[in-house]
Amino acid sequence: MSNYFEFSASEKKYLEAINLANDEKLSKYASKNRDAIRLKNPRYDIIRPQYSYDTDCIIHSPLYNRYSDKTQVFSFYKNDDITRRALHVQFVSKIARTIGRALNLNLDLIEAIALGHDIGHTPFGHKGEEFLSKCYQDGCKKAGKPIRYFNHNVHSARLYRYVSGTNISLQTLSGILSHNGVKGYKEYKPSDLSTFEKFDEILEHCYLDNDYHKKLRPNTLEGCVVRISDRIAYAGKDRQDMLRAGMITNEKFKEKRLIGVRNSDIISNLIINLIKNSIDSPTLNMDKEVFDDFEDLIRENYTIYGDESLNKPYYNIIQPLMEKLYGRLLDDIENKNYNSPVFKHHLNNTILGNCYREKNSRRIIADSNEIVVDFIASMTDDYFVDICKNLHIDDSLTESIKYHEYF
């Protein structure tokens, strides 16, 4: 009887030879598939190279679905031309793969890190991240436990390491944890992280020290490529979104720049300069003049991000709603309110809920604050508003949410 779903010995030999040949073609500074570090071997490693397997784990996770309705930077705008989180990670992936191809790096690893790097983002972007971290800190204080902080990159790594049940490689996890590109560097050099034990130690340290994650570097050159590509992806696109939505006018920005003022020019020029300075090198580099102009452009963006009129709805509506929702969900867990969405939509999730329970038991053993943080962070913008309405968290606040409509 024919075996439809297993390879013969000769077929395995053929496929293994292809994988080995592909590894040998890569740069000496690239991450080879054979060197991937993971806790157990993937099931189909012959037809899916190591880091391609990571990408499959990421995009088929239920967490990946939530990208589609999460704020990138600007909320409350019904505008199909404004970037959402799902589109941003695709931009990062494409920019990073372009750089990686020119430097002969492992494109599968680049894709895995790029598509998974923002999975831990909250609803309502970085403001939501700021508010959830404050709730987490307050929750820990009330529980008499050490203060813990929330940062989206740290949470992304935690989700894939502990929550989602995936078998992600250390190289991909390191790239995701260390991607936070708020601070830029003219030169990027990989770290020497090589064990899960050290990774877990670093991850825990990130929760206890709010600034620790900012010092981290990916342990591969591919991870460094994604980190800088993240900044390239949002630098010009954010200001393009601002202009298209009518939030600002061009007068807010410099008329001329070395790296260009249009998004397409910014992306192209930065990619070219990075490649020129990084060919056959163990590090990524830019010319100082290009790097300085890039940093000045991003600083210019941040003056807009901090605009009081743009941030007022977040502080006046979203922050108090999140604080009240956080408290309500904590109470529901402590009171075993099984009709609450935190049970029905999170703890009872057949994939995501198992990590909170005793093995071979339904008994919840995880910290309640941790559960609530995971649940709120997983919400899309629309789900956050709807759960607040459904639970009547504060009807006056939810009714005051105003969107910039299409017409």
- Structural domain boundaries in the chain: 56-309, 316-399
Q: What is the DSSP annotation of 322-340?
A: HHHHHHHHHHHHHTT-TTS
Of the listed ranges 53-62, 133-142, 299-308, the least confidently predicted one is: 299-308
Provide the CA 215 distance to its chain's centre, in angstroms.
Answer: 17
Query: pLDDT, tens digit, for every residue of 34-68?
Result: 999 999 887 767 888 999 999 999 999 888 988 87
Query: pLDDT, tens digit, for every residue of 112-133?
Result: 999 999 999 999 999 999 999 9
End-to-end, the C-alpha distance of the chain in Å comes to: 64
Provide the CA 42 distance to its chain's centre, in angstroms.
Answer: 23
Query: pLDDT, tens digit, for every residue of 327-379?
Result: 999 999 999 999 999 999 999 987 778 888 887 777 888 899 999 999 999 99
Confidence (pLDDT) at 119: 94
Q: Do the beta carbons of residue 218 and residue 175 sit within 8 Å?
A: yes
CATH number corresponding to 56-309: 1.10.3210.10
| Residue 397 pLDDT grade (very low, low, confident, very high; cuts 50, 70, 90) | very high
Angle subtended at Cα 199 by Cα 57 and Cα 166, rounded to the nearest 5 degrees? 15
Q: What is the DSSP annotation of 165-223?
A: -----HHHHHHHHT---SS--SEE-------HHHHHHHHHHHHH-TTGGGG---SSHHH
Instruction: Indicate whether 1 pLDDT > 80.
Output: no
Instruction: Find the farthest-apart pair of alpha carbons in the chain and give their distance in angstroms, rounded.
Output: 73
Query: pLDDT, tens digit, for every residue of 201-251?
Result: 999 999 999 999 999 999 999 999 999 999 999 999 988 888 887 787 777
**Token pair listed for 65:** 């679905």
Instruction: Indicate whether 166 pLDDT > 90.
Output: no
CB atoms within 10 A of CB 201: 11
Running DSSP on this structure, what letter comes out for residue 251?
G
Residue 188 main-chain phi, psi, to 5 deg: -120, 125
The residues, ordered by sequence, that sit 6+ positions from 29 with a Cβ below 8 Å of its Cβ are 103, 105, 221, 280, 281, 282
Confidence (pLDDT) at 386: 97
Q: How far apart are CA 77 and CA 405, in angstroms?
A: 7
pTM above 0.85, yes or no: yes
Confidence (pLDDT) at 73: 81
Confidence (pLDDT) at 358: 80
